[in-house]
Chains A and B, each alone.
Chain A
Amino acid sequence: MTNSLPTFFDEMQINIANTDTLNVREIYNAYQHWLKSIPKDLLDSKRQEAEVLFRRVGITFNVYGNDDGAERLIPFDVVPRILDAKEWAHLSAGAIQRVRALNMFLHDIYHEQHIIKAGVVPASVLTNAQYRPEMFGVNVPQQIYAHIAGIDLVRTSESQFYVLEDNLRTPSGVSYMLEDRKMMMRLFPELFRRYSVAPVDHYPQVLLKNLRAVAQSGVHEPTVVVLSPGAYNSAYFEHAFLAQQMGVELVEGQDLFVRNNAVYMRTTQGPQRIDVIYRRIDDDYLDPLVFNANSMLGVPGLLSVYRNGGVTLANAVGTGVADDKATYIHVPAMIKFYLDEEPILENVPTYELSKSDDLAYTLAHLDELVVKEVQGSGGYGMLVGPAASKQELEEFRIRILSKPANYIAQPTLALSTCPTLVEAGIAPRHVDLRPFVLSGKTVTLVPGALCRVAMKEGSLVVNSSQGGGTKDTWVLEEAIETPTTQQAEKVEELSC
């Protein structure tokens, strides 16, 4: 680690006010102590070991059209991100509250639309490209739309977390949460003796229980399947992993067909009826008869069965309207409207460029702001002002001016950093956090999350499509054994 003071909040070490010294945050004491006790090259050899293991297991990203069968690994970092029980209680309560409100919002805008009538959310939400008129008046079991939600959180100080975005369509990454943990326990069993880390491996069981709970009423032993676009999809490993962990079939569109208002899969013993589909295919590709007619991934007639209640889809069709950046702005108001509660987690302050004041401010401060396209995802249609060249700024200015309502702007957040193993040793790298909220009869989440890390120095973009890596996230149980912590406090200068 370098000795220069970080300008960002670091998960492991903090500035002591008015001094030039760094101190290790209490929850990292035992880790720091351990770090000092191990041989210098241990972390790097463990990192290499992890890479070999991940390759063998085939936890890989497919690169489409790659001919030599080589598949890409998402970089895995061996240094954990640690959250204490109190921090986690705050985050999980906030995430659950948010998902409850979002599910109520989705039900509302596809039914009575109270929130629009009350003037809390503008009617323009109904013309959002992600709003699916096909879903109007359709009743889904338990009124749950987003059965699986990934809430992206970032931290800017000891006490300040922000929700960056909600992922309510087909959020991915949970397999990395689970596999990273398995890997860390294999590589560093001694650390798990020092820390009581809350387990996460029951996630697939909770998911299965929830999926079974949203089958149509009257079905006693529902058949659940995972619907994947197939082995060439970049997230195929995760689809296969979840199906295997839940003990259900992993199907592709070609395996399913529709007959007499029901969905069946082709099995070696003949057709078998399906009750719940955990689909990892976007709305647009689900049913060529209704959406994208060229799609080979979906099932002709699926939507008609779905609308008639012959099958349950998780997540529901049409959730995209609630996680769009144009809707994001209204989530705190939704929470007050539906739950009559104060939002536990804050939104990032956001400028709506459809408003002339916000537009003027944004154009004047383009080099300081992050500008995002509404109805976009994946970190592509985005401008990071401080990192952009003059030419990029000008190009984006023209794009904004041609259709201001297509954009929102936010201050460039000082994303927290976490110690990360890079070539030069351990160095701070920016991180975010995606816990997965599961909605069934209850709304829950397992104590863990996908932690994404920007492996490039200074980079704030953590997306795996942009070279981001992952870290295991440790949520500590209430009771922390502290003998090593106390010892560690005595050796408090940090320099390695």
Chain B
Amino acid sequence: MLSRTADHLYWMARYIERAENMARVLDVTYNMSLVPNAAESEAALWLPALEISGNVEAYADTYDAYTASNVIHYLALDMNNPSSIYSTLRSARENAHAVRVAMTTETWENINALWLEFGQFVGQDLAKSGLREFCDWVKARSHLFRGVCYGTMLRDDAFSFVRLGTFIERADNTARLLDVKYHLLLPKQEEIGGAVDYYEWSAVLRSVSSFQAYQKIYSDTIEPWRVAELLVLRRDMPRSLHACFDEITPILELLSGTRHTECKRLAGELHSKLRYGKMKDIFQHGLHEFLSDFVQSNNKLGVEIHKTFFSIAT
């Protein structure tokens, strides 16, 4: 298929996934704010939301205080923030518009409708009211997007690039979320088992729709290392790193065909670390080191995908 088309489809899916993950972070952070004494201060509560999305510096350029109202606006609706949900959904729609031919009519109409519906939130003060509904809406639209792709698209390269975008982005987002949360909570490890800690970790689990899965798998108190295991190594957890690479590797093998591509090799390497790695070893080397290495390698994989499929030499 046309390289530019593949590029747009891939990024369309990445932006939708990014918007969903941002909505999840906002949602759980907001829920935490309702738990008494959940954090030492408003700033301590909301700063991680900015850290996860890598927005701390850009935020500081515009705003002074880390208030709920500012952070929510900045991450949800700020038109000047390129990683706000507003901007990512807008980018998703622009990418879709540029290649509407390459997707089914239903997929295109779904994204177009998403953007038209977004209009209802613009200008709202979500911190005051409506944040839950907004986050639910973003998540639901993202589910709908994946569903309409899965249910209507021909299983050709276009479909593969859409799926590839989704899982590369999801892997990145899950790794960042876990890294920031784990990092923040570690100093308090001695207090594990406390009420706040329970809420904090259950919030992390909920943000990746894994709370119920955790209960089902471990039927035990929430332990940080188990949360990490769930989100890194468990292949049956749809948002875990392992599950993402269970999707990514075969897609890249399919797209590469008989070609020996660096992206295929790199994906295989990352995949095997997740497939054969042990939590104990990961902790011994440091979870933070592991996760930041992973985010870097995943980025590099994105670059290789670009080189191989989107910007081929003539």
Contacts and interface: CB of A to CB of B under 8 A. Distances in A.
Contacts of A240: 100-101
Contact of A268 (B90, B113, B157): B157
B221 to A, nearest CB: 48
A268 B97 contact: no
Contact of B312 (A69, A243, A249, A270): A270
B309 A55 contact: no
| A-B interface, 9 closest residue pairs, ranked by CB to CB distance from nearest | A268-B309, A244-B101, A266-B3, A250-B101, A231-B98, A243-B101, A240-B101, A58-B112, A268-B6
A146 to B, nearest CB: 25
A250 B102 CA distance: 8
28 contacts: A55-B116, A56-B109, A56-B113, A56-B116, A57-B105, A57-B112, A58-B108, A58-B109, A58-B112, A231-B97, A231-B98, A240-B100, A243-B101, A244-B105, A250-B5, A250-B102, A251-B4, A254-B4, A264-B314, A266-B2, A266-B314, A267-B3, A268-B2, A268-B6, A268-B157, A268-B255, A268-B310, A268-B312
Interface in A227-282: 230-231, 240, 243-244, 249-252, 254-255, 257, 259, 264-271
A259 B6 CA distance: 23
Given A230-B98, A250-B101, 9 more contacts: A55-B116, A57-B105, A58-B112, A244-B105, A249-B1, A252-B4, A264-B314, A268-B157, A268-B309
A12 B116 CA distance: 38
Interface residues of A, number: 26
Interface in B161-186: 161
A251 B3 CA distance: 10
Secondary structure type dominating chain B contacts = helix
B166 to A, nearest CB: 17
A268 B157 CA distance: 9
Nearest to A67: B79
B2 A57 contact: no
Contacts of A57: 105, 109, 112
B2 A267 contact: yes
Interface bin, chain B? 20 to 34
Contacts of B102: 250
Contact of B97 (A55, A58, A244): A58
A201 to B, nearest CB: 14
Interface in B1-49: 1-6
A271 B312 CA distance: 9
Contacts of B309: 268
B115 interface: yes
Nearest to B314: A257
Contacts of A264: 314
Interface of A: 55-58, 69, 230-231, 240, 243-244, 249-252, 254-255, 257, 259, 264-271
B257 interface: yes
Contacts of A69: 90, 93, 115
Contacts of A244: 100-101, 105
A55 B309 CA distance: 33
Interface string B57-72: 0000000000000000
A264 B3 CA distance: 12
Contacts of B1: 249, 267-269
B3 A255 contact: yes
Contacts of B113: 56
B242 to A, nearest CB: 26
Contacts of B98: 230-231
B116 A266 contact: no
A230 B100 CA distance: 12
Contacts of B108: 58
Contacts of A268: 1-3, 6, 157, 161, 255, 309-310, 312
A20 to B, nearest CB: 49
Nearest to B110: A56
A122 B153 CA distance: 56
Interface string B106-146: 00110011011000000000000000000000000000000
A366 B309 CA distance: 61
Contacts of B93: 69
B252 to A, nearest CB: 12
A269 B257 CA distance: 9
A266 B4 contact: yes
A58 B105 CA distance: 10
A248 to B, nearest CB: 9
Interface in B247-306: 255, 257
Contacts of A249: 1-2, 5, 101
A255 B2 contact: yes
Nearest to A243: B101
A44 B309 CA distance: 49
Nearest to A242: B101
Nearest to A71: B97
B152 to A, nearest CB: 14
A251 B6 CA distance: 12
Contacts of A231: 94, 97-98
Interface string B202-245: 00000000000000000000000000000000000000000000
Nearest to B158: A268
A252 B112 CA distance: 22
A214 to B, nearest CB: 22
A268 B100 CA distance: 18
Nearest to B161: A268
B122 to A, nearest CB: 9
Given A58-B100, A240-B100, A243-B101, A265 B115 contact: no
Contacts of A265: 2
B100 A56 contact: no
